[in-house]
Amino acid sequence: MATRQRPGDRGAEDARRLVAAAGRELRLARRSAGLSIAAAARRAGISPSRLGRIERAQVRSPGLESLCRAAQAVGLKPSFRLFPTGEPVIDSPQLGVLGRLERVLGRPLAMAREVGLPIPGDLRAWDARISDGHASVSIDAEARLDDLQAVARRIGLKARDDPQAGPVVLVLNRTAHNRRALAEHREALRAQFPLDGAAILRELRAGRIPPVGGIVLI
DSSP H helices, the chain, are 7-32, 37-44, 48-55, 64-73, 92-103, 148-161, 176-185, 197-205
pTM over 0.85: no
CATH value at residue 61: 1.10.260.40
Residues 115 and 47 in one domain: no
CATH value at residue 155: 3.40.1350
Residues 34 and 125 in one domain: no
Residues 69 and 138 in one domain: no
Please report the pLDDT score of residue 212 as a whole number.
Answer: 97
Residues 67 and 170 in one domain: no
Final residue in a domain of this structure, among 46, 73, 100:
73
pLDDT band at residue 189 under the 50/70/90 scheme: very high
Cβ contact 124:116 at 8 Å: yes
Q: Nearest to residue 97, comparing CAs of 210, 216, 192, 180?
A: 216
Structural domain count, the chain: 2
Q: 98: Cβ–Cβ under 8 A, 6 or more apart, which residues?
A: 90, 111, 113, 127, 128, 139, 141, 171
The answer to the question of residue 100 being in a domain is yes
The answer to the question of residue 85 being in a domain is no
Q: Which domain holds residue 97?
A: 92-217
Residues 107 and 146 in one domain: yes
* Residue 1, pLDDT above cutoff 50: no
What is the rounded CA–CA span in Å between residue 153 and residue 218?
A: 22
Residues 102 and 40 in one domain: no
Please report the pLDDT score of residue 89 as a whole number.
Answer: 53
Residues 104 and 59 in one domain: no
Strand order in the sheet with 214-217: 110-116, 125-131, 136-142, 168-172, 214-217
pLDDT digits (tens, 9 = 90+) for 99-122: 999 999 999 999 999 899 998 888
* Residue 208, pLDDT above cutoff 50: yes
pLDDT band at residue 61 under the 50/70/90 scheme: confident
Span 5-11, average pLDDT: 74
